[in-house]
């Protein structure tokens, strides 16, 4: 999705970001399920903590940019619908990750219901308190360019001018996207990194410690 979503600078305190909740994750083929690696005692404790922390900080009319992989091994579409219904925020802007079988199925059902089509993708697409954005999104907050994707991108739009790259997927395992890494304005939004949702101002504080990295000729 190329259309840039614009927010006023004065509205920055209404913007939040997160990725890789992996709700309902059972062990299955994984040696250690994600919830256990995060220190939770069960999948239920994990997804309930995500809900509690989001609802404690994010208001109904705020906006969450979510960067993929919200559920893993979920068995019922209603589990996804019920989980999102517990989030107070009515503006969850959803980018797809690589573990999206159930949300993507819900998305395709909505395309069919809303447009009568089953062989196209339509973005943005509203479903309850979730708006599906596809796989990639750029936003402007004031004049700050922010590039959003599930996968970490080394060189993104206007990176040489100080734009931000916000990603997920690596669960805190990619050093160059961690808060303490000083070079390049990239940051991992995975739940594993902060065990909480990120506000715009928290990201701003981290990015202010990072230097701009120029990896290509485009600025």
In this prediction, residue 217 carries a pLDDT of 65
Q: Is 213 contained in some domain?
A: no
In this prediction, residue 28 carries a pLDDT of 62
Number of domains in the chain: 1
Residue 96 belongs to what domain range?
5-207
Q: Is 188 contained in some domain?
A: yes
Q: Is 217 contained in some domain?
A: no
Q: Which pLDDT tens digits describe the chain residue by residue (219 residues)?
A: 568 999 999 999 999 999 999 888 766 666 777 888 888 888 889 889 999 999 999 999 999 999 998 887 777 776 889 999 999 999 999 999 988 788 999 999 999 999 999 889 999 999 999 999 999 999 999 999 999 999 998 888 888 888 999 999 998 888 999 999 999 999 999 999 999 999 999 999 999 999 998 877 655
Q: Is 164 contained in some domain?
A: yes
100: closest CA among 65, 68, 75? 68
Q: Is 216 contained in some domain?
A: no
In this prediction, residue 102 carries a pLDDT of 86
Whole-model pTM over 0.85: yes
In this prediction, residue 30 carries a pLDDT of 66
Q: Is 29 contained in some domain?
A: yes
In this prediction, residue 218 carries a pLDDT of 56
Q: Is 56 contained in some domain?
A: yes
Q: Is 214 contained in some domain?
A: no
CATH number of the domain encompassing residue 193: 3.60.21.10
């Amino acid at each position: 999705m190329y259309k840039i979503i614009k927010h006023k600078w004065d509205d920055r305190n209404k913007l939040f970001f997160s990725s890789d909740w992996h709700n309902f994750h059972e062990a299955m083929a994984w040696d250690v399920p994600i919830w256990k690696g995060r220190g939770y005692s069960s999948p239920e404790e994990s997804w309930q903590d995500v809900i509690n922390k989001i609802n404690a900080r994010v208001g109904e009319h705020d906006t969450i940019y979510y960067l993929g992989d919200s559920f893993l091994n979920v068995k019922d579409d209603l589990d996804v619908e019920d989980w999102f219904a517990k989030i107070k925020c009515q503006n969850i802007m959803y980018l797809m990750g690589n573990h999206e079988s159930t949300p993507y199925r819900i998305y395709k059902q909505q395309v069919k219901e809303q447009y009568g089509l089953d062989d196209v993708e339509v973005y943005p697409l509203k479903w309850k308190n979730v708006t599906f954005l596809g796989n990639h999104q750029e936003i402007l907050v004031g004049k700050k360019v922010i590039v959003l994707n599930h996968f970490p991108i080394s060189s993104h739009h206007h990176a040489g001018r100080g734009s931000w790259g916000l990603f997920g997927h690596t669960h805190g395992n990619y050093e160059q996207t961690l808060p303490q890494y000083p070079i390049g304005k990239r940051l991992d939004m995975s739940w594993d990194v902060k065990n909480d949702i990120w506000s715009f101002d928290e990201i701003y504080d981290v990015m202010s410690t990072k230097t701009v990295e120029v990896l290509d000729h485009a600025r």
